[in-house]
Amino acid sequence: MPEISGYAFPNDVHVHWSLMIVMYPYITGFVAGAFIVTALYHLFGKKEFEPVARLALATSFCFMAIATFPLNLHLGHAERAFNVVVTPHFSSAMAGFGLLYSGYFVILLLEVWFVYRREIIETARRSRGVKRAFYAALALGTYDTSPEALEVDHRAVKLLSAFGLPAACMLHGYVGFIFGGIKANPWWSTPLMPVIFLLSAAVSGIALLVLLYQVTAKLGRRPIERETVQAMARWLWFFLILTVTLELLEIVLLAYENSDAWHIISQLLTTRLEFSFISVQMIGGSLVPFILLAIVVTMNAYLHDRVRNTLASVASLLLLVQVFSMRWNVVIGGQLLSKSFRGLRSGYQPSLFGREGVIVAIALFVLPFVLLWVFDRVLPIERAAPPAEPSREPAAEPARRTA
Amino acid sequence: MDETESDARAPAPPPAPEPVGRREFLANALRLGGGVLVFLSGAPALGEDHVAEGYDWTQHRYAYLIDTEKCIGCGSCVRACKAENGVPDGFFRTWVERYVVSPEASHVDSPKGGLDGFPPIQTPFTPTKSFFVPKMCNHCKETPCVQVCPVGASYRTQDGLVLVDAERCIGCGYCVQACPYGSRFLSPTTHTAEKCTWCYHRVTKGLKPACVEVCPTATRQFGDMRREDDPVRLAIAHGRVSVLQPHLLTEPQCFYLGLDKEVR
Amino acid sequence: MESARHVFRVLFLLLVVVVIFSVGRTFLVPKSYGAYGPYRFDNVAEQAAVRPPQHGGSASCGACHAERLKAVTAGAHRKVGCEVCHAPLARHVRDGARSAPMPVDRSFTLCARCHRRIEGRPAAFPQIVLAQHQGGVEGTACIDCHEPHSPKL
């Protein structure tokens, strides 16, 4: 039994939304964040992002493929999950999930298909037997690679990015809405919530790509482009500043307005969430990477590639932790305070084993990377023969694996 | 509270059509989305109004009245609720809170929801007043729990109860988070949302909810707003009643007499 | 147009998926769903019949124990239902016949739930401070001296 300080409503002592509901926005955050990176290239013509555009698309796709897993693991009746699309009750923020999720998934599938269509066809032409049949099926039986057809593909990708970006933003903004729309819970109920979720999604997505890009470049023995790392670091810095500003604003507003819940929320932050909010989310996860990225952004000209890559990698790792702790502090933190506004329950420790346990959560985080590897086998993320570039100084920093 | 007034206004002829307010209209428009989908999918034939033998749900609209000045904190209601509904251990469809208050400080407790009554208590301050407050599902008219249910498993009946369809509930827990009163929980046995039903299996047979049946001091009263001479209706219509957390505009149908500012 | 054939193919595939889903879905919507709103109407009747009522009320006890009920309704405990101190009727009677003995709780705790003086009770309600109570020692059954069905103060 959890310990209660003060008075909590007797039904308010359970953390029904467990580690899996922390994992869900964490994972969809990567979906949205990685898609923003692809869009920066496809839509906004940021050429520096060219080397990560396909990786970002693949990452977004792989995280999307498992995004429903944590939800189904959490549901009391996962076998009824389809009720959400069979009898959606549209006054619920959750009911739109079926539409948003499948809509975005379709966009992502189509975009991957259009981006890879030429290569799919070429592979089909080159292979025999089962492999040929597989790629022929993937190509939907049309082998048109005329310049006009490729131009159609190109425009399709652009159009899909244009729809995909708002769809990705809505998919993740809606996750924030699920929390922001609960007027019963003062720690959740703020219109800032969807925005904070969205911005931190961008942070986590870019941070993950900073790491993935360097790891895959190492593994593929490709040079790490200075401009790409630099550009990602700059955008990461920008989104970090926005996120943390809003995260702090939310709290400062509560305090300044002396909201009816402020006395309990201030207790929550300084006792139950002291470590995960103040130490991890704000200091270790925000202040430190802010400084590291500031060095990368403002002192670009003076930095050795190795230093820049290291700084960006460390900052990215810390930001991955920051975003996780932010999800944790919102989801779990909101359930530690009772709606009586008079009591807090003791901190929540997820079980190690079990359906909603730590091991499953780690597996969930590793799974998209496995999928990414499979994806790369089927549809190579790096183009087959990149034009040979004069090899630049080997960046020696062995970027860490995040999983 | 305009809806409350419309309820209390006049002895409405039984199946009085409710005036459609703007908010209601918007809500209906929102619901229409789902409704159209249902219609397209081969709308079900309108079932009979029969929900139980000899019971027409359009002839009733229930309300609950709690007179906090009468409550002695015996916890009989909590025990009766558990026996009547098989409420799982550690979870509560109803519970009783004790407030011990001085102008400077206050203390609230509810050991086991009041299931075994209340023990004597020592507070670090000298109390100037103290009282018990029974709590339960408020069966709100503008209920946040029904609003957030993604699959239409939570709903409000025409006789004014908020119920959960345990066969359709997916156990997502969103309604539990959305209830400002802490009246819902996920049952550890069925893994679906569970809450007070005002003992629907009793009231449809003309009985009172179990908690009302056993209350020795008539703190808890159950009434029918569609009956002109109903004492609960009269008390709500003419007395000064309040509801919990009125600022959330959930329009609770549990009304309180003698509610203190300390109570949330 | 010729060069966009693959686009039409993929759109057609998408359409097929949507149609299959929409048709499949109609088989999964419960019959009474939406009859009165976005919920399964059949559940209302199910809830009404979810279990037989457990508490019968004092009148139902009076069907067999008329004398006892008369004594209670004449005394200070007239507003206290039989099932408050005993147990729900269903534990004692099934299908109109006695199925098990009614539990009788003679403990001090039972009386103390209502009558021990604690913080919270209305001042006018009869309450006992054990230390000031004649012969009162915790552990002694109150009903050794007091008649529970019609106590005298």
What digits encode the pLDDT tens for the residues A173-232?
Answer: 899 999 999 999 999 999 999 999 999 999 999 999 999 999 999 999 999 999 999 999
Residue B152 lies in a domain: yes
Give contacts of C 59-98 with B, CB under 8 A. 79-81, 83-84, 87-88, 91
Of A89, A182, A185, the CB nearest to B151: A89
Q: Using CA atoms, how far apart are residues C8 and C22, in angstroms rounded to an integer?
A: 21
Of C3, C10, C33, the CB nearest to A144: C3
Measure A370 CA to nearest chain B CA, in Å.
28
DSSP SS3 for C1: coil
Establish if A355 touches chain B: CB-CB under 8 angstroms: no
Measure B173 CA to nearest chain C CA, in Å.
17
Q: Which stretches of chain A drop beneath a pLDDT of 50? A: 386-403
Phi then psi dihedrals of residue B35, to 5 deg:
-60, -45
Residue B9 scores a pLDDT above 60? no
* H helix runs in B113-221, sequence order: 144-148, 174-178, 200-203, 210-214
pLDDT value of residue B48: 55
Measure C35 CA to nearest chain A CA, in Å.
13
Establish if A77 touches chain B: CB-CB under 8 angstroms: yes
**CATH, residue B180:** 3.30.70.20
All residues of chain A having their beta carbon less than 8 Å from the beta carbon of residue C18 are: none
- Taking alpha carbons only, the member of B259, B151, B59 closest to residue A79 is B151
Of C3, C7, C38, the CB nearest to A146: C3
- A–C CB contacts, 8 A cutoff, strictly below: 39
pLDDT value of residue B64: 98
Give contacts of B 5-44 with C, CB under 8 A. 31, 34-35, 38-39, 41-44
Q: What angle do CA B57, B62, B67 make, to 5 degrees?
A: 165
**What are the sequence ranges of the domains in chain A?**
1-17+185-348, 20-180+352-383
Residues 6+ apart with CB under 8 A from B195: B93, B137, B145, B162, B164, B179, B183, B184, B185
Higher pLDDT residue, A67 or C141?
A67
Residue B40 lies in a domain: yes
- How big is chain A, counted in residues? 403
Residue B150 lies in a domain: yes
Question: For residues A138-155, b (16+ Cβ closer than 10 Å) or e, as one string?
Answer: bbbebebbeeebeebbee
Q: Using CA atoms, how far apart are residues B203 and B62, in angstroms rounded to an integer?
A: 9
Q: What is the rounded average pLDDT of the residues B144-161? A: 96
Whether the CA torsion C149, B110, B193, B196 is positive or negative: it is positive
Amino acid at position C40, single letter: R
pLDDT value of residue C96: 85
Question: For residues B91-116, b (16+ Cβ closer than 10 Å) or e, as one string?
Answer: bbbbbbbbbbbeeeebbbbbeebbbe
CB contact under 8 A, C113 and B75: yes
Of A6, A17, A92, the CB nearest to B150: A92
Of A77, A81, A185, the CB nearest to B192: A77
Residue B3 scores a pLDDT above 50? no
Residue B172 scores a pLDDT above 90? yes
pLDDT digits (tens, 9 = 90+) for B67-88: 999 999 999 999 999 999 999 9
Q: Using CA atoms, how far apart are residues A65 and A369, in angstroms rounded to an integer?
A: 11
Query: pLDDT confidence of B21, banded at 50, 70, 90?
Result: low
Token code pair at residue C117? 């003086």
Q: Using CA atoms, how far apart are residues A48 and A40, in angstroms rounded to an integer?
A: 9
Residue C144 scores a pLDDT above 80? yes
User: What ipTM was estimated for this complex?
Assistant: 0.91
CB contact under 8 A, A89 and C38: yes
Residue B7 lies in a domain: yes
Total number of domains in chain B: 1
Question: For residues A257-276, b (16+ Cβ closer than 10 Å) or e, as one string?
Answer: eeeebbebbebbbeebbeeb
Establish if B92 touches chain A: CB-CB under 8 angstroms: yes
pLDDT value of residue B12: 42
Q: Are A200 and A243 in contact (CB under 8 A)?
A: yes
Establish if A184 touches chain C: CB-CB under 8 angstroms: no
Domain coverage including residue B207: 2-69+136-257
Residue B210 lies in a domain: yes
Q: What angle do CA B175, B176, B180 make, to 5 degrees?
A: 95
CB contact under 8 A, C54 and B216: no
Amino acid at position A69, single letter: F
pLDDT digits (tens, 9 = 90+) for C36-75: 999 999 999 999 999 999 999 999 999 999 999 999 999 9
Query: pLDDT confidence of C133, banded at 50, 70, 90?
Result: confident
Residue B118 lies in a domain: no
Q: In what order do the strands lie in the sheet with B220-224?
A: B220-224, B62-67, B254-257
Q: If you search the block for the tokens 């300080």, which residue do you land on?
A: A5
- How big is chain B, counted in residues? 264
Query: pLDDT confidence of C138, banded at 50, 70, 90?
Result: low
Strands B106-109 and B254-257: unpaired
Amino acid at position A192, single letter: L
pLDDT digits (tens, 9 = 90+) for A154-177: 999 999 999 999 998 888 889 999
Q: What is the rounded average pLDDT of the residues B12-28? A: 49
Strand partners, B65: B221, B255
